[in-house]
Amino acid sequence: MAITGTYSLSVKFSPAFRRDVTPASGNLKRNLDLKRLAVSSEQETKKFVDNRRMWKKSGVEAETERRVNVEESERNGKSLKAYFDEAKDFIRSDAGPPRWFSPLESGSHTPDSPLLLFLPGIDGVGLGLTMQHQRLGQIFDIWCLHIPVEDRTSFADLVKLVERTVRSENHRRPNRPIYLVGESLGACIALSVAAHVPDVDLVLILANPGEKLLSYKPNLTDDLSSATSFSKSQLQPIIAILKLLPDQVPFSIPDILRLMEGDPLRMAMDNLVKGLALDPAFGKLSHDLLTMSSYLSVVADILPKETLLWKLEMLRLASAYANSRLHAVKAETLILSSGRDQLLPSQEEGEKLRHALSKCQNRRFNDSGHFLFLEGGVDLVTVIKGAGFYRRGKYIDYVSDYMPPTPSEFKKIHESSRWIYLATGPVLLSTLEDGKIVRGLAGIPSEGPVLFVSYHMLLGLEVYPLVFQFMIERNIVLRGIAHPMMFTKLKDGKLPELSTFDSFRMMGAVPVSGTNFYKLLSSKSHVLLYPGGMREALHRKGEEYKLFWPERSEFVRMAARFGAKIIPFGVVGEDDIGQVVFDYNDLMKIPYFRAGINDLTNEVVKLRVDASGEVSNQDIHLPGILPKVPGRFYFYFGKPIETEGRKRELRDKVKCHELYLEVKSEVENCIAYLKEKRENDPYRNLLPRLIYQATHGFTSEVPTFEL
């Protein structure tokens, strides 16, 4: 019944922020309960009225407005230059204890948005999410912790400050999760707070946490070379140099650039270019580097020698403290690890931390540096969505919490898998209301609920071109009912990491369950269902295009309950891509492979345990496939079958089963139609298609058989 997923086996603050001068030792609850304002009360009233109106809009209007806001935020996002400009305002007359502030962009979130507390790294400014504020502010209520440069609040007191805030906000809105986003030092604070409040619903997002620092000796005068990860980082030489240099001498440009990013040249071109007026041609790079050098004094003001030494000492103590309490951390955790972190061995330590925490995932950014959130190519909202970590309640709702991909997100996903699209040259046919077959998706209803039912091709290779074409041609998100292996693993093993399936989740995949199916149809979605699921996608030799559906209907009554249109469709082309030469039966005869199949199957939730027949065989394996020169994929969507007004009729088991068999028969007819018609397609093979596109343009539509 599911998409298998086998294919992917300051005191003065910048005017850009609302003020909140909540001290570490002040009346926290009173200050936090007050609305942090940077606009007039008239504007706040207008915003409240606008929010009320928004909730009265139809689903389509609300979604359209959301998409417009997101697209604007993508265009108007801040650059790295904004970080330095705002940091200068923060530290110009900085004094007092640590306190929270909220960026103005956070005012655009909806009333049910979860709270996000940002805990800064060793810089302490609290502006680490500057380049992320615009998009994060659409879906989170953002609070950022600011630690003044001269402040010497201990790590323990910082933990207490954050813990008080967490408990206060949890008491105010107990059904809303609280996100703790931290980098390096902030990550240690987040882990410590999570260990102290296991009863609070927290979600941790930790960028480059310095967990291995736990092995360091707690005194900076000790022999640093005894710490293994110090020998791999720039902390040791930086500390040694800092002790010798006078306060007036800043760091060297190369060291700062390497700490800020994995590649200083890429930073200059990728981050500073955005929002800066560039000289043409050869002047670009020098201009960017000069711009960066002009902000070195800001870095020196943020981290003077004494402050840096204090922060590094705190980081070592914080790491040891957090590590000793990892066993008590029960919160969902997402680790973000940089591959070019010059400060810490982040990927190595991120992986160890993933194994140490009970509910933890890891995402790697191989080309990024230590300050991950200040890189132009990193979008935290996209990362959270892809990992399936965004929720508004105690549990994730894959329907109401889902946010469709933005144009830039879709473009990135599409380009990463474009080779499948190019290799298979998909042809999509649909049926109009009068029964006429046309090329394209004109026959697909715009309004849901619509249920698409079909045969699942080998390895589920048809899913990508199908989902992409629906988005490109009709701007319809196909919500695929997917195998649980895309969302959770019972244990570590040989199956692909969950990050492999981020693009599937971004494009709307939902774990198979009756509840999710109900919610999708009730929300008038376009739902993609494969009753044969894993059994069809991992079929045996000679079983191409053979349906393995349950004996009893699993979807007819639910479709009728919501008056959904059922569209049976066929898809062919797997036999032009490859041929199964070593199947499940062959593998099970060999003890080594049999043991491997059992191990793989035990890593995920089992499906159809109560079913009978071949469809119950859901063992996970990878058959031996002999590849071929790619042919072409063909999709044919039959005429929609109406269930509107048939709810009472289809309560009858006989009538329900008759409609089920009708849908199954239509799928088989669609497959037979395509198998016959493709024989007359002169562009069925890859070479003729390439020749056609070479002469007509690679964006031109390649013809197919006559309809």
Q: What confidence score (pLDDT) does residue 246 get?
A: 60
Q: What confidence score (pLDDT) does residue 74 get?
A: 53
According to the per-residue pLDDT averaged within each range, which of 20-24, 113-117, 365-369, 499-503 is highest?
A: 113-117
CATH number of residue 169's parent domain = 3.40.50.1820
For 345, 356, 518, the CA distances from 324, given in Å and listed in that order, are 20, 11, 44
Domain contains 232: yes
Q: Is 638 found in the same domain as 570?
A: yes
- Give percent of the chain with pLDDT exceeding 90: 52
Q: Is 413 found in the same domain as 358?
A: no
Domain boundary residue, one of 359, 387, 415:
387
Q: Is 214 found in the same domain as 139?
A: yes
Q: What confidence score (pLDDT) does residue 304 get?
A: 77
Least confident of 177-181, 243-247, 254-258, 580-584: 254-258
Q: Is 158 found in the same domain as 90?
A: yes
Q: Is 457 found in the same domain as 360?
A: no
Domain boundary residue, one of 358, 387, 416:
387
Q: Is 542 found in the same domain as 455?
A: yes
Q: Is 444 found in the same domain as 383?
A: no
Q: What confidence score (pLDDT) does residue 428 get?
A: 97
Domain contains 12: no
Domain contains 489: yes
Q: pLDDT tens across 167-194, in order?
A: 999 999 999 999 999 988 999 999 999 9
Q: pLDDT tens across 630-679, in order?
A: 999 999 999 999 999 998 899 899 999 999 999 999 999 999 999 999 99
- Residue 385, classed as helix, strand or coil, is helix
Q: pLDDT tens across 414-465, in order?
A: 998 888 888 999 999 999 999 999 999 999 999 989 999 999 999 999 999 9
Domain boundary residue, one of 341, 359, 387:
387
The beta strands (E) that lie in 426-549 are given as: 427-431, 437-439, 450-454, 478-482, 510-511, 526-529
Q: pLDDT tens across 133-174, in order?
A: 999 999 999 999 999 988 899 999 999 999 999 999 999 999
Q: Is 254 found in the same domain as 110?
A: yes
Give the model's confidence band at 77: pLDDT under 50 very low, under 70 low, under 90 confident, else very high.
Answer: low
Angle at 22 between CA 113 and CA 155, to 5 degrees: 95
**Pair type for strands 450-454 and 115-119:** unpaired
Domain contains 483: yes
* Between residues 565 and 368, the one the model is more confident about: 565
Q: What is the DSSP string of 105-144?
A: GGGGS-TTPPEEEEE--TT-SS-TTGGGHHHHHHH-EEEE
Q: Is 360 found in the same domain as 413?
A: no
Q: pLDDT tens across 534-564, in order?
A: 999 999 999 999 999 998 888 999 999 999 9
Q: What confidence score (pLDDT) does residue 354 get?
A: 85
Which has the closest alpha carbon to 350: 363, 366, 367?
363
CATH number of residue 423's parent domain = 3.40.1130
Residue 304 corresponds to which tokens in the numbers above? 């003077």
For residues 587-607, one letter each, b for 16 or more C-beta atoms within 10 angstroms of the residue's C-beta and e for the rest, the string is beeeeebeebbeebbebbeeb
Q: Is 310 found in the same domain as 216?
A: yes
Q: Is 431 found in the same domain as 304?
A: no
Domain contains 623: no
Q: What confidence score (pLDDT) does residue 249 get?
A: 54
- Give percent of the chain with pLDDT exceeding 70: 75
Domain contains 108: yes
Residue 365 corresponds to which tokens in the numbers above? 């950014």
Q: Supply the range of the domain harboring residue 551.
A: 407-576+629-696
Domain contains 659: yes
* Between residues 87 and 297, the one the model is more confident about: 87
Angle at 177 between CA 189 and CA 606, to 5 degrees: 105
* Between residues 8 and 386, the one the model is more confident about: 386
Average pLDDT over residues 96-102: 92
Mean pLDDT estimate for the chain: 80
**Tally of domains within the chain:** 2
Q: Is 416 found in the same domain as 308?
A: no
Domain contains 16: no
